Amino acid sequence: MMKDEGVIKFNCRWTATPLPADISCGELLTTRNKLFRLGGIGYDAAEQVGYGNISIRTNADHAFVISGTQTGHIPVLTEAGLSCVQQADIATNTVDCTGPAKASSESMTHAAIYQLFPQVTAVIHIHHKALWLSLMHRLPTTKASIGYGTTAMANEITRLVTEENLAVKKILVMAGHDDGIICFGDTMAEAEKVLMQYWAEMLPHPINALP
């Protein structure tokens, strides 16, 4: 695990508020908590940092709800651990967010995906060493020199669209972010399916069989 895992690298302008009442987060929380039980989202005790995050688009614009920074240690996440990103400006490396928690350190990468793909409504970021090693360079893979949560990573997503068919694959490996994998879909169910088609061989039970 990278030692700066979980560190916010953008200018985070956060206002502590309740989540908007009209946003439904049930599916996001259900999937997040399944991924916690699988170990794709969790906490590295040695480095004392959380890892992995998940988000859903909230409207036709680019706003989205994402699991909060440093919530990976929580076995059952609730709305108290979520943040609503109102705007992410890649050019100025600035994220404006509201809600009970500060936005995840990976919010800029999620924002880049939502901005590039208007039809996408869900993004999942997990950590899995064996899967990461297996899929690196077999699937769209970011350059090893590019760290997570940065403007450079957001721009790298654009390169993967044009050079590595990311729009079709809907999954990428982060070579410069140990164990990091991101997938996305037009729905949360599709994002899960994209991930599980590669992960299934390493699991004793499929994700939907978990309680």
- Sequence ranges of the domains in the chain: 11-201
Residue 157 CB contacts under 8 Å (≥ 6 apart), including other chains:
109, 112, 113, 116, 142, 166, 172
Q: What is the pLDDT of residues 99-125, one digit of tens each?
A: 999 998 888 889 999 999 999 999 999
Which stretches in the chain have pLDDT values below 50? 1-4, 209-211
Radius of gyration of the chain (CA): 15
Quick one: pLDDT at residue 154?
Answer: 81
CATH topology of domain 11-201: L-fuculose-1-phosphate Aldolase (3.40.225)
Residue 109 CB contacts under 8 Å (≥ 6 apart), including other chains:
125, 148, 149, 153, 154, 157, 182
CB atoms within 10 A of CB 75: 9
Within 13 A of 11's CA, how many CA atoms are on the CB side? 7
| Under 8 Å between Cβ of 150 and 108 | yes
Supply the pTM of this predicted model. Answer: 0.91
Quick one: pLDDT at residue 196?
Answer: 92
Quick one: pLDDT at residue 75?
Answer: 95
Quick one: pLDDT at residue 62?
Answer: 83
